[in-house]
Chain A
């Protein structure tokens, strides 16, 4: 099967290690921090926080580069051109993102992760945190704090985006009928990229998993050595493969279309307004799927993958394994 854009994004899994090698940060489908048990004897809370900051910062940087490479084929994307006098929504938005400052704390308030203007990351541990939590719990708490921080950065970025483009709508002249139409078209295209195609791709991932689940029963259906067994499996496997391919190709198409719409809106003063209007309209709708976010469209199973099962209670004491089938 060819390597698709969807595959590449799904596979992104960046691991960064602190300079002392004792803290590892992994960013793929979720953010995980692992603190080596040897830290307990080698670090104070302060020195451990420095190592954690470097590992987490490295993973964030690596993930950003990996996404750029997956989308554009190169880690080197041109820096946005702007000047201090540039008052376009895009320039305002870029300036606003550089001013984002948010914080997140762990459940017990032992750990604080902060994001500061111009992208500075800090992680701070309250005194005796390492002693209280131990390295295992500390790993979990660090992972949770960084994940919360990332969500808050994303929300702050969305807020800045809306603010920049909303200010534009208040100052510009009313649109003409053709402008209206163009705005509507752009909004609809974005809906196809962020709603329709990902929904179809998700449905296909479910259908692929349904076809895949038949493997659970085929062990008992066919007589040992029956020639129909191999023939039917061959047919099912080919069907499963083409359904899985359809899933990833739809996801790729969604990403491609989304890139097209987003790029157009972000680089064109007038078109940006269309996207702004679209976002405003979407506030009344469920959040759309972002095809660029890993994990939003499940990876379909492939022939030969184990069939995921769950326990089903039958009567008061008996339970049986049944395959997990998406419906």
Chain B
């Protein structure tokens, strides 16, 4: 059974329990007064239709889908941090023996910065993965909360002597992992930090209650909590979106400014190098700058 089916089944249980409780409330204690009419009963049932849509709001998406995405991104990061460097190290050794202007240009402008670029790319992969993890946690906690809210409501409606029932559910925000990602400049400049995944940090856990002395009070309190949960979910989602947009800008849009410790995409991608650049203008296209050692 899918999460949605499971939750909608609980909504049906809420409606059944509410109807049963309401019917007992409106049934006269003495035999002289009439029981509720079919129209009154139908009106009560119709009045609960909004609950389905309210719960439905929390069923979208599938947080488990993020597992495979996070796993694949972890493999990509592993490749960038270990696999790439296995080939970079011997290449660096070989290139060190190459002398001349072209060699210097190739090393300084392409190869040496590339080693820091691979690290930066790994960090961006990490940030991309962490954003997914945050989203996954937001959805998971929203689901846990909404299921707990439904269960508490059913309990409140089934308790004949129910007074106030206090349901305590930890809020969404407190569960989201925080991480900072470093983009290294590859040169002498200080590394830049950017802040993805502090989304939700600092949001206080919320206590909320479902209860009341009558069916109406219990259902009204449920509606209040559903609205509140929806607002909290929307806020968490918008916070995360804002942080992704912010870090996207930091990583890909910002230009290097003196004193600013944020770096543009050039720190994450090597420059273009062409055959002409290496051939360095020699007339027949060969490398004029490949300098033999002394005594050759």
B287 CB contact (under 8 Å) in A264, A270, A327: A264
Given known A235-B131, A252-B272, A260-B290, contact A214–B62 (CB-CB < 8 A): no
Contact A185 B98 (CB under 8 A): yes
CB-defined contacts of B128 to chain A, threshold 8 Å: 211, 232, 235-236, 239
Query: Of A2, A199, A257, which one neighbours B87 at CB under 8 angstroms?
Result: A199
Residues of B near A123 (CB, < 8 A) are: none
CA distance in complex: A274, B79 (Å):
33
* Option from B60, B88, B93 in Cβ contact (under 8 Å) with A223: B60
B208 interface contact, C-beta 8 A: no
CB of A192, distance to nearest CB on chain B (Å) = 5
Are A232 and B91 also in contact (CB < 8 A) when A184-B97, A260-B286 are?
no
Contact B286 A256 (CB under 8 A): no
Q: Choose among B135, B265, B271, B296 the residue that contacts A182 (Cβ–Cβ < 8 A).
A: B296
A200 vs B85: C-alpha distance when bound (angstroms): 9
Shortest Cβ distance from A214 into chain B, in angstroms? Answer: 4
A243 at the interface (CB under 8 A from B): yes
If the complex has contacts A196-B94, A228-B237, A249-B270, are A259 and B278 also in contact, measured as CB distance less than 8 A?
Answer: yes
**Chain A interface main SS type:** helix
Instruction: Determine whether B76 belongs to the interface, using a CB cutoff of 8 Å to chain A.
Output: yes
* Interface pair A221/B121, CB less than 8 Å apart: no
Q: Is the CB of A263 within 8 A of B285?
A: yes
Q: Report the nearest B residue to A236, measured CB to CB.
A: B128
A267 located at the interface, meaning its Cβ lies under 8 Å from any Cβ of chain B in the complex: yes
Q: Smallest CB-CB separation from A197: which chain B residue? A: B91
Give chain A interface residues in 225-251, CB to chain B under 8 Å. Answer: 226-228, 231-232, 234-236, 238-239, 242-243, 245-246, 249-250
Instruction: Decide if A189 is an interface residue (CB 8 Å cutoff).
Output: yes
Closest to B91 in A: A196
Contact residues of B between 55 and 82, Cβ < 8 Å to A: 60-63, 65-66, 68-69, 72-73, 75-76, 79-80
Residues of A within 8 A of B275 (CB): 5, 71-72, 252, 255-256, 259-260
Smallest CB gap from A1: residue in B: B272
Using a Cβ–Cβ cut-off of 8 Å, how many residues does chain B contribute to the interface with A?
72
Contacting pair B274 A252 (CB below 8 A) = yes
- B217-247 contacts to A, CB under 8 A, are 237-238, 240-241, 244-245, 247
Contact indicator A188/B62 (Cβ below 8 Å): no
User: Using a CB-CB cutoff of 8 Å, which residues 270-296 of chain B contact chain A?
Assistant: 270-279, 284-287, 290, 292-296
Determine if B248 is an interface residue (Cβ-Cβ < 8 Å).
Answer: yes
Determine whether the beta carbon of A196 is less than 8 Å from that of B132: no
Evaluate contact between A221 and B69: CB separation under 8 angstroms. yes
Q: Does B44 contact A (CB under 8 A)?
A: no
Interface status of A32 (Cβ within 8 A of chain B):
no
From the candidates A196, A214, A226, name the one contacting B73 in the complex (CB within 8 A): A214
B184 at the A/B interface (Cβ < 8 Å)? no
**B186: shortest Cβ distance to chain A, in Å?**
14
Q: Mark B232-270, 1 if CB is under 8 A from A, else 0.
A: 000001101100110110011000000000000100111
Nearest-neighbor residue (CB-CB) of B88 within chain A: A200
Cβ of A139 within 8 Å of any chain B Cβ, yes or no, is no
Given contact pairs A257-B106, A267-B284, A196 touches B69 in the complex (Cβ within 8 A)? no
Of the listed stretches A21-29, A55-63, A202-210, A279-287, chain B binds A202-210
Return the chain B residue nearest A2 by Cβ. Answer: B272
Q: Please tell me which one of the listed residues A179, A181, A257, A325 contacts residue B278 in the complex, with CB atoms under 8 A apart.
A: A257
Residue B202 CB within 8 A of the other chain: no
The verdict on A178 contacting B121 (CB below 8 Å), with A188-B97, A232-B135, A267-B284 known, is no
A211 to B124, alpha carbons, bound, how many Å?
11
Q: Is the CB of A228 within 8 A of B240?
A: yes
Docked Cα-Cα span, A191 to B238, in Å, equals 50
CB-based contact A246/B273 at 8 Å: no
Task: Specify which chain B residues have a CB less than 8 angstroms from the CB of A236 in the assembled complex.
Answer: 128
Chain A: number of interface residues, binned into ranges: 35 or more
Q: Out of B88, B277, B293, which one reaches A256, CB within 8 Å?
A: B277
A170-195 vs B, CB cutoff 8 Å, 1 = contact: the mask equals 00000010110110110011011000
Whether B97 contacts A231 by the Cβ 8 Å rule is no
Report whether A179 and B296 are in contact in the complex, using a CB–CB cutoff of 8 Å: yes
Q: Which of A185, A223, A256 lies in contact with B273, CB distance below 8 A? A: A256
Which of chain B's residues have a CB closer than 8 A to the CB of A327? 75
Distance from A299 Cβ to chain B, minimum over Cβ atoms (Å) = 17
Q: Which of A178, A220, A224, A259 contacts B279 (CB 8 A)?
A: A259
Residue B95 lies at the interface, judged by CB distance under 8 Å to chain A = yes
Q: Would you give 26 A-B contacts (Cβ < 8 Å), ordered by A? A: A2-B272, A4-B272, A5-B275, A178-B295, A181-B97, A181-B293, A182-B296, A185-B98, A191-B90, A196-B87, A210-B72, A226-B61, A227-B238, A228-B135, A232-B128, A232-B131, A234-B244, A235-B248, A238-B265, A239-B121, A239-B124, A239-B125, A246-B270, A256-B278, A257-B278, A263-B279
List residues of chain B with CB under 8 Å of any chain A CB: 60-63, 65-66, 68-69, 72-73, 75-76, 79-80, 83-84, 87-88, 90-91, 93-95, 97-98, 102, 106, 110, 117, 121, 124-125, 127-128, 131-132, 135-136, 139, 237-238, 240-241, 244-245, 247-248, 251-252, 265, 268-279, 284-287, 290, 292-296
16 new A-B contacts at CB < 8 Å, known A200-B91, A242-B268, A260-B287: A73-B276, A176-B295, A211-B72, A218-B69, A221-B63, A221-B65, A224-B60, A228-B241, A231-B248, A236-B128, A246-B269, A252-B273, A253-B106, A256-B278, A259-B285, A267-B286
Closest CB pairs A-B (n = 7): A223-B60, A188-B94, A196-B91, A221-B65, A223-B61, A256-B278, A263-B286
